[in-house]
Amino acid sequence: MRLKKILFPFSSHKEVLQSRWWHRLFVVLFSINIIVGVLLGILATVVWVNNVHHSYNSIIITTLNDYAGNQDPKIANVTPQFIKNFSYIGCLEDDGEITYVSTTGLEYEAFCSADIRGNLSSIADQMMGIRGLKDKASLVSGLEKILNEDDEHRKCFISNKICSSSRKIVAYKPNAIFYAVGALVSLVVLYIFSLLLQLTYYKAVIYIIYGKDEKNLSKHQSKEV
């Protein structure tokens, strides 16, 4: 009974109104709106899945740099393989937020290999084909300079437009906290929507029909009987 009062706090005269066709119509429309609200809640949760990720509500599976280091050294660029193998890919920011990364952009702006120095010529060819470069010797020289100055055992060349480092490009998946928060947000929004519908009906529509004195509901019902 207490749960019913929480869910339907404005429906104290529901029994009196049962004989009115427009009240029954409201009940039907209210039920339809709740069903639509549930569907919208599911959609909102799906949108939440694709846009709101953080280190606390996600499981980091691997990084692009680590993934590349565990692949066959003969493969010149494992980035397409990385994109194919994982559904959720993002850039892990310093504050723990995982921001969206376009897989198309990643495929064209990240070149990774377990043996990046041994595959430097092939990587240069791929970069030239994508970026329309002509001077391969200068490109290879520039890439070698980056490798020589790097102390982090680099496995990737990646554009800063994608992410600050291949060590921050992560493959991840939502954890239980993520889905729990998504479901809770959807339920709260649905509950508020339900209350607004009830408030509008019982405190506005019913007021217009029966007046300020709520006893008019019972009196009106008695006259009809």
Q: What is the pLDDT of residue 46?
A: 63
Amino acid identity for residue 18 in this structure? Q
Based on its alpha-carbon atoms, the radius of gyration of the chain, rounded to whole angstroms, reads 30
Degrees, nearest 5: CA angle 116-93-149: 35
Residue 163's pLDDT is 92
Tokens for 139, please give them: 């490109």
| Angle at which helices 21-51 and 176-200 cross, to 10° | 150
Helix (H, G, I), strand (E, B) or coil at 162: coil
Residue labelled with tokens 């408030």: 199
Residue 159 is encoded by which pair of tokens? 């554009």
pLDDT at 207: 73
pLDDT at 169: 95
Token representation of residue 92:
């892990």
First to last CA, the chain: 28
CA distance 19 to 17: 6
Residue 98: CB atoms within 10 A of its CB come to 21
**SS3 sequence, 23-90?**
HHHHHHHHHHHHHHHHHHHHHHHHHHHHHCCEHHHEEEEEEHHHHHHCCCCCCCCCHHHHHHHCCEEE
Over the chain (225 residues), the average pLDDT of each successive run of 10 is: 71 67 80 79 65 82 95 95 94 90 90 93 88 83 86 82 92 86 79 84 75 56 43
Report the predicted TM-score, pTM, of the whole model to 2 decimal places.
Answer: 0.66
Q: What is the pLDDT of residue 180?
A: 81
